[in-house]
Amino acid sequence: MEHPVRGESSTSNSTDASKWKYDVFLSFAGDDTRLKFTSQLDEAFKRSGIKTFLDDVDLERGRDISQNLFQAIEDSLCAVVVLSENYANSKWCLNELQKILESRKTLQRQVFPIFYDVDPADVRKQTKSFGNALVEHEKKFGKNTTKMQNWRDALFEISNLSGWDTRGK
C-alpha cells in the first residue's frame, strides 16, 4: 500500500511530503510521559510505518541541541504536542512549542495537541501548573520580556487547536 505521508502517492500535492525526514515530531515533557504515554505512542506510530523524531533517540551527537531540535521540527511533516502537568516547567518544551507553532504558520505544518491529564482550559488560561511554571520563568527572564510573551502566546494558541483530552472529557 502506498504511504502518502512519505510522498509515495502517484498524485502530487502541495506539501510534497517526500522531502520530510520525519512524519511526526513528538514534543513532550520527559519526566511526565516518556516512559508511559509517549513511548507507547511512539511505538504505535512505528508499528503503523510512521517515522517519528524522539529526542533521546534521534538527536545528532555533537550538535547544538536547540538547533538540532529546531531542524527536526522543520524536517517533520507534523508535530504531536503532549501537554502534561510539567510541560511548561521546561524552557526546552516552551521553545519547541514556539518553533512548532511558527512552522505551522510559515511552513504549513500540521500540529496536533494531546492534553495528557490536564485541562485544556488550564493551558489556555495559564492556570494551575501552567501558571505556576510561567511565574517561575518570569523570575529568571522578567515578566514583560518578549520571550515570556511568546511562550504565553504559544500556550494560548496550542490550547485553541482541536486535539485530544486523555481525561475523557
pLDDT in tens for each of the 169 residues of the chain?
334 444 433 333 445 556 789 999 999 998 888 888 999 999 999 999 999 998 756 566 666 778 889 999 999 999 999 999 999 999 999 999 999 999 999 999 999 999 999 999 999 999 999 999 999 999 999 998 999 999 999 999 999 999 999 998 6
pLDDT in tens, 40-54: 999 999 999 999 998
Task: Give the CATH number, domain containing residue 99.
Answer: 3.40.50.10140
How many domains, the chain? 1
In a domain, 74, yes or no: yes
| Residues recognised as catalytic | 96
Q: Which domain holds residue 79?
A: 17-118
C-alpha distance from residue 24 to each of 4, 55, 142 (Å): 14, 12, 33
In a domain, 51, yes or no: yes
In a domain, 44, yes or no: yes
| 127, HSE (Cβ side, Cα atoms, 13 Å) | 6
Distance CA 116, CA 136 (A): 22
Q: Is the dihedral of CA 131, 136, 142, 146 positive or negative?
A: negative
Q: Which grid cell is 68?
A: 538540532
Distance CA 55, CA 60 (A): 9
In a domain, 151, yes or no: no
Residues 130-162 as b/e (b if ≥16 CB within 10 A, e otherwise) read: beebbeebeeeeeeeeebbebbbebbebbbeee
In a domain, 64, yes or no: yes
Distance CA 10, CA 75 (A): 22
In a domain, 154, yes or no: no
Distance CA 88, CA 86 (A): 6
In a domain, 93, yes or no: yes
pTM of the complete model? 0.86
C-alpha distance from residue 153 to each of 22, 58, 98, 160 (Å): 26, 28, 9, 11
Name residue 134's amino acid: L
Q: Note whether 114 and 83 are within 8 A (CB).
A: yes
In a domain, 69, yes or no: yes
